Amino acid sequence: MHDSPIHMYPEIPPTKQRNREEKFRMAKNVPFWHFIANIVFPLMIKNRFYAAMVKGKENVTEKCDKRFATIFYANHTNWWDGLWGYYLVHFVIKNKRFRFMIEEMNRFPLFQYIGCFPINKKSPQSAIKSLNYAVTTLNKPNTAFWIFPQGIIRPPHYRPEVFQTGLAFMVDKAIKLYGGINLVPVANSFMFLRQDRPEIITEFGEPMTLVEFNDDRKHFTHTLEKNFEAFLDNHDKKISKGDFEDYHYVYKQKLHWWRAIEQKLKSIGIKEEQ
């Protein structure tokens, strides 16, 4: 038996652990690579997850101020979060100007061509460079910027929520430069429900449009933490009770042949009993 302790969620960001500079790459939108991503990413997701359901899409499409860019801030619990964020923006919200910070992007340099750019947490100076660049990407109102304010992967249901101050930095700068910004909280759950494969459950929260920033960044961050934690807790509570009212499937796979046979046999048994 292997008795060494398991460290699945280190507190130190990967780029800080490696302690070396990495090449900075500006985000671009190259149609060819979006074409490839729009084929590969959905195939990857649908191969692994039986279905995905979404709630609150209207909070984005109808309630956000269309004069400003939108920052989506979501919980970060697993490897799929970034790919699922891309899927939501491109295939559910249908916004084609996706921007996303990836800490270890030098492992995936081609992501530069689908709207991603790196953030290096080796030092505060390196991180600020990425955050300043992130603000410049918010100059167009059709921008959908995806961020994980926790800064690192946390276990599912981790409490309390702890945000880095990068989100507050971006909000402050965007308001000063562009007049305003939309903030939309996003809760993602990846779990088994009634099928033999896991499913994805996403909820878009009520948007907040800010046109002025008179708060201290740390205080603003703590306020967002508390509100986001309450949002996630309510999201989890409803799922735990099987409450999926107002959710809609964005895709749903056909049952595997053995599951289809199982369902058929069950229906036969029910008819015979009647």
Q: What is the pLDDT of residues 139-192, one digit of tens each?
A: 999 999 999 999 889 999 999 999 999 999 999 999 999 999 999 999 999 999
pLDDT digits (tens, 9 = 90+) for 114-135: 999 988 776 777 788 899 999 9
Burial 131-164 (b: 16+ CB within 10 A, else e): bebbbebbeebebbbbbbbbbbbbeeebeebebb
The structural domains of the chain, ordered by start, are 14-273 (3.40.1130)
pLDDT digits (tens, 9 = 90+) for 60-90: 999 999 999 999 999 999 999 999 999 999 9
Helices (H) and strands (E) in the chain, counts: 8, 9
pLDDT, position 23:
80
In three-state secondary structure terms, 118 is strand
Q: What angle do CA 232, 78, 187 make, to 5 degrees?
A: 20
pTM: 0.89
pLDDT, position 260:
61
pLDDT, position 267:
65
pLDDT digits (tens, 9 = 90+) for 223-232: 999 999 999 9
